[in-house]
Amino acid sequence: MTADVSSDKLDGMGVVMSFQKLRAVLHETVCDFDHAALDTIGYFRQNNPSAENVAKFVFERLRVKLPEGVRLQNVRVVEEPGCSAEFSL
């Protein structure tokens, strides 16, 4: 799974957000359902646990956890090489 972020400004280090921080926030967002049976999670009881819906589910939760001024551009879920789904607004 990958996520792309953007911002109108760079921080003091000249980056939008450190990759380490982004990885940590992404991990925090998915750790509750990583390697879980998705149909046991409320959202997926109502929605097909497709890669597209997983990307949307993560996108909606991740974007509210980002620092002020950092925008989530997309979340991509890779099922296997050459086969992925992306959600963006």
Residue for token digits 């509210």? 64
Question: Which of 14-23, 31-40, 54-63, 80-89 is least confident?
Answer: 31-40
pLDDT tier at 35 (50, 70, 90 boundaries)? confident
CATH of the domain at 73: 3.30.479.10
Q: At residue 33, does pLDDT exceed 90?
A: no
Residue 13's domain comprises 2-87
DSSP codes of every residue in 33-77: TTTS-GGGSHHHHHS---HHHHHHHHHHHHGGGSPTT-EEEEEEE
CB atoms within 10 A of CB 53: 18
pTM: 0.90
Residue for token digits 């939760």? 61
**Structural domain tally of the chain?**
1
